[in-house]
Amino acid sequence: MSTETTDAEVARTSNTFLSDVWTNFMRWNINAVRNPFVVVSSLLQPIIFLFLFTQVFGNVAGEALSGPISYETYLVPAIVVQIALIVASSSGIGLVDDIESGVFQKTLVTPMSRTAVFVGKTLSELIRIVVQVVIVLGLGVLLGAEITSGLGGALAIVGIAVLFALWFLAFSNVVALLTRDQESTIIAANMIQLPLLFVSSAFLPVDSMPEWVQVVATYNPITYGVDAARAIMLNADVMTVWNVTAFSGIWNTLVPALGVLIVLDLVFGAAAVYTITRATSADVQ
């Protein structure tokens, strides 16, 4: 075996976890730049919802709110979570594209860390979520929404969006690896995404909806993402599905909501890493 071959093999196997993460992070960012339609469309849908719900349904929906809260202020946290859902659902679709093009199979036969593959891909999608949430928060303020907790609150809402997105990103990638089919991945994401939005605290207060919806909302992850963002938006305790009084003010919402989201992230993140780690090039052909 030649020295040149040995050096090449050492170079291939000397990759660190962080370098593998960076490689995948850059690759998926480049893919996004090359396909701006996906990025733009994932931003347009929440913006359309923001305008339609505030301008068309604002007066009617606003009557269900208690206190001097504008519907714009109430709705923005829901649109933030919707952005996280849309970008997260597209994560699995991107992975299916990788599988169908053969790129993912080539990745599996390299010495690259499988966990780093998932982490790098996830980070690139979280960057998109951060940018889009900032844009929507700015538009919401222009439409009349008020972030009571100020700039620090706005940054915290961005953090909530990232925390919420992680579990659905992982779920989307697991579905993609199990089905290896773009249509199935899209259907699975949409079957969960849209119905759960409407049976949560996203668009109307839970206590103003039918009793069965209130029961579903209690076990709906979207409720906890929206309530956490809305609590920061209003700087108040807004959770109605749980009557938590162990803390003070806003923390009666944030502690249980963040607890639920962290558990979801850990469970689905572990499932995604396990699924990718177990995948072989033969499995995804």
% the chain with pLDDT above 70: 88
- Please identify which residue in the block is written with the tokens 């072989």: 280
Other CB atoms within 10 Å distance of the CB of residue 111: 10
**pLDDT of 173-200, one tens digit each?**
898 888 888 788 888 877 888 888 889 9
One DSSP character per residue, 217-256 reads: HHT-HHHHHHHHHHHHHHTS----SS---SS-TTHHHHHH
Rounded CA-CA distance 279/98 in Å is: 14
- The average pLDDT across 120-149 equals 90
Using alpha carbons, list the distances in angstroms from residue 247 to 21, 223, 251, 254.
38, 19, 6, 10
The end-to-end CA distance of the chain, in Å, is 32
Identify which of 19-28, 84-93, 156-165 has the greatest average pLDDT: 156-165
Quickly state the pLDDT bin for 5 (edges 50, 70, 90): very low
Q: Give the pLDDT of residue 62.
A: 62
Q: What is the pLDDT of residue 218?
A: 92
pLDDT for 95 beyond 90: no
Nearest partner of 67 among 235, 211, 218, 241, judged by Cα: 235
Q: Which residues contact 141 (CB under 8 A, 6 or more apart)?
A: 147
Q: Poorest-confidence range of 106-120, 202-216, 261-275?
A: 106-120
Query: How high does pLDDT run on average in the chain?
Result: 83
Q: Residue ranges of the alpha helices (H) in the chain?
A: 3-13, 17-34, 36-55, 58-62, 71-101, 103-108, 114-143, 150-179, 182-198, 211-218, 221-234, 251-278
Range of weakest confidence among 57-66, 109-118, 264-273? 57-66
Residue with tokens 């009349």, as numbered in its chain? 144
- As given in the structure block, the two tokens for residue 254 are 């944030």
CA angle 239, 241, 247 (to 5 degrees): 45
Measuring CA to CA, how many Å separate 218 from each of 93, 110, 221, 227, 279? 29, 44, 8, 11, 35
- Greater confidence (33 vs 159) lies with 159
Percentage of the residues of the chain whose pLDDT score is greater than 90? 31
pTM, rounded to two decimals: 0.85
User: What is d(CA 178, CA 161) in angstroms, rounded to the nearest whole number?
Assistant: 26
Tell me how far apart the alpha carbons of residues 243 and 197 are, in angstroms, rounded to a whole number. Answer: 22
